[in-house]
Each structure stands twice: as structure tokens, then as C-alpha cells.
Amino acid sequence: MYSLWIANKNYSSWSLRPWVLLKVLNIPFKEHQALFNSGGSSYEKFTVFSPTGQVPCLIDDQQIIWDSLAICEYIAEDHPHVWPQNRQARAWARSAAAEMHSGFLALRQNCPMECTTRLVMPEISNELKKNIMRLETLWQEGLDKFGGPWLAGRQFTAVDAFFAPIAFRIQSYQLPVNDLVQQWVEQTLTLSAMQEWYQAASNEELIEH
């Protein structure tokens, strides 16, 4: 069985991606949690199981996979429904997930994932506005092309998992998004896997940054 190492559910957006994917697709795994050190790096603690000193990290027998995108691709080799069946949808989903993996910097930096936080952003920078507009364009395109209700079609796939932390961020910072994105946010937040994550995040001790 897969072993998935994650950090604090309240903060670790990268951990959420493979975790929610495995949960929603009902793929069995054993969860291991290593909590962030407060006020400093967790590198020493995390290198015990992860070569980069970062989470998430998947262990499958002797095989170690240490990056959220690589983890989803590894799981997809055993479980092809991680990505959409349709080739066009799969190409789109992979592109959008990769874009999330390497982009959306303003969104990540200005609105770090803190599931239990609620605050209104005093100001939305131009860079953040551009990221929000890009989300809206992606949503329009995915839902128009593949028919929804998930980003690349009828099933929740890895592209939805990659954007799942955005649902918590939009909720926490009350970001102004159009109805299409808001609807996806609501359906994502009501998934039992997301509620389980949120509940566990609420029970964790808060870390002072």
C-alpha cells in the first residue's frame, strides 16, 4: 500500500493535492504526518523520509516519489482514472495542473493556505488580479470544452486536486471570483474528503509565523 507523508493540514497546500486525489478516488494509502517546526525550517525533520526535506512524499515499497506532480503521475500509472480518459481532456488537465504547479505566484504568496483563517484582503494587487482572471479563463475553458461539473469533465481528476488548495484560499481570503469559479469552489469544499481535511486542520495547533 502507498504511504503518503504530509505536513500540517491547516497549511500544507502541496500535501493536500495527492491526499485529496487518493481520498476522492478511493485509492487506499497510509497517511503519515510530520508537523512543521514553528519559526524555522523543517528540513532536518523531513529529510528522514523525503530526499528534498519537503512534503508531500510518497513511498511505495522501496520507491520514493518526492514531488506532488510526480506523485500524481506515479499513482496514475496504477490508476489511469487519475487523469481524464479523453485524450484532449487529459492534455488540457495536465497543462492546467502543470500551470498551477509552476505558476500562480501572486496567489500563492499573497494568500498562503491557512484553511481555518478568515480575512478580507485589504488590497488586491494587479498581479493577484491577473491570477484570478487566469483562473476564470481556465474554468470557462475547461467547463465549456469538457462539460463539467469538474474541470476536465464528469469525474474529479488530478487537475481538480491540483486546484483544491485554491478553494480553501478563496474561502479564507474571500477573493472576488466569478460564479463559475465560485460554484466549483463550493462543490469542492463540500466533498467529504475536503471536509475531513478541514476538520483535521481545525484540530491542529496553530503555528505563529
Question: Is 72 a residue that touches ligand GSH (CB under 6 A)?
Answer: no
Question: Is 13 a residue that touches ligand GSH (CB under 6 A)?
Answer: yes
Sign of the torsion formed by the C-alpha atoms of 23, 27, 32 and 34:
negative
Question: Is 43 a residue that touches ligand GSH (CB under 6 A)?
Answer: yes
Sign of the torsion formed by the C-alpha atoms of 26, 189, 94 and 90:
positive
Segment lying near ligand GSH (by CB under 6 A), choices 35-43, 140-148, 181-189, 190-198:
35-43
Strands, sheet with 63-65, edge to edge from the N-terminal-most edge strand: 29-33, 2-6, 57-60, 63-65
Compute the distance between CA of residue 197 and CA of residue 16 in angstroms, rounded to an integer. Answer: 8
- Out of 5, 19, 36, 156, the only residue in the binding site for ligand GSH (CB under 6 A) is 36
CA R_g for the chain: 17
Which residues contact residue 55 at a Cβ distance below 8 angstroms, ignoring those fewer than 6 apart? 5, 6, 7, 12, 14, 15, 34, 46
Q: Which is nearer to ligand GSH, 41 or 88 (CB)?
A: 41
- Out of 2, 5, 7, 193, the only residue in the binding site for ligand GSH (CB under 6 A) is 7
Question: Is 165 a residue that touches ligand GSH (CB under 6 A)?
Answer: no
Q: Which is nearer to ligand GSH, 69 or 143 (CB)?
A: 69
Quick one: cell of 2?
A: 502507498
Question: Is 8 a residue that touches ligand GSH (CB under 6 A)?
Answer: no
Least Å distance between CB 197 and ligand GSH?
13
- Out of 4, 21, 56, 156, the only residue in the binding site for ligand GSH (CB under 6 A) is 56
Least Å distance between CB 121 and ligand GSH?
21
Question: Is 68 a residue that touches ligand GSH (CB under 6 A)?
Answer: yes
Question: Is 14 a residue that touches ligand GSH (CB under 6 A)?
Answer: yes
DSSP H helices in the chain: 13-24, 43-46, 68-78, 87-102, 105-110, 126-146, 158-173, 179-189, 192-203
Question: Is 172 a residue that touches ligand GSH (CB under 6 A)?
Answer: no
Question: Is 41 a residue that touches ligand GSH (CB under 6 A)?
Answer: yes
Question: Is 12 a residue that touches ligand GSH (CB under 6 A)?
Answer: yes
Task: Catalog residues that contact ligand GSH under the rule CB under 6 A.
Answer: 7, 12-15, 36, 41-43, 46, 54-56, 67-69
